Structure 1
């Protein structure tokens, strides 16, 4: 039986295939190089002082969610540009922390006491920069205003504490806390009245959230100072109440 001869590829043919294949690989490499990597997005974000501590805590507390967060931002960078991705970075961070409000409220007392101290420090820093910034933070939290570096540092610390509190509030250290009890609320009110009798009157009149920016700023500071004057467990219950209120207001405004 005669074997049908198979055509042989000449050297030039093989060389053409290798060159075409190599060109294809180079083209794929070029396309991949144009795409933003999660590492490049992370480097860009961590260069922002207001996000450094927050992202470090996010990475430590929720590594899988953190990687997914960077991946989404990488896709947004490719589709819409770095500026849009940077805006989305802040919004998605807020949304993630807000989704952990109940976990934060369920954290051990030590975590909530530390968070209350950080929030008070933030308000005091913002008041130094101007009552309107402080009042806006009391109402909505930081919303991208131009904030002084000292305030950015304390906000970053508070954000980091929120991530750690949330992680602890989801783990074995979780403390089941219901709504603020009448007894704890009464103790808190007495502490507020001792610090600021006028504010206590406005609370009774239902007008504590109104007034000038200076008055609203002073109210926020007094609420945290009064909570800090309580025993640790009662202070933690009040802070949990403030956390729920704060994130609840933010959600309603969205």
Structure 2
């Protein structure tokens, strides 16, 4: 099979003396691994960093075989973030979460567009942590485990939705949830609408929310933990007082 598609690099590892196996999140063909000849060279390495956008010409004998790819860089990519170590930790975490959560060879264009939006947001330090939470919520939705934040699971009310059930992923109102507050997950207002501002603790609560469902529904089923890069990002956000 052969195709050409835009893609983001998720990871790359050396293979042989000069090549590399590169994991890509493509726009129309999902997560794909491919051998890139010359990928270990000094010239190619800058284009194989997580978050680099490329145009990939992919070839393989069969659909389930490791193929090969020729990559052409598109735009500045992660080089634009080299002066922002915190954004780079977020980028590494996003690539690790996407690479660990998305199955191979299944198209998830929504995940590609969410990753692209997050890449653009990394240029704005004040907002990207919240966009990261939205990115993870979008991954959950793409994989069939989307949160239902439209109305209270118990009463059907749409007002004062401040919690989420850790079992069902559905919103819970203040009135209905008060007796069970210690068992529920906090719902940060920014997940309910773009108009809501960010208060202290909102990003922390958002990451706890999406992390719970990523772990419960996806990573646990794959018998692996949440990526270490995600915990590293949270630690760095905590140190920078951005949670």
* Structure 1 and Structure 2 fold alike (TM over 0.5): no
Which of structures 1 and 2 has the larger relative contact order (alpha carbons within 8 angstroms, sep 6+)?
A: 1
Larger Rg: 1
Give the alignment's TM-score, normalised by structure 1. 0.29
Give the alignment's TM-score, normalised by structure 2. 0.30
Structure number having the greater strand percentage: 2
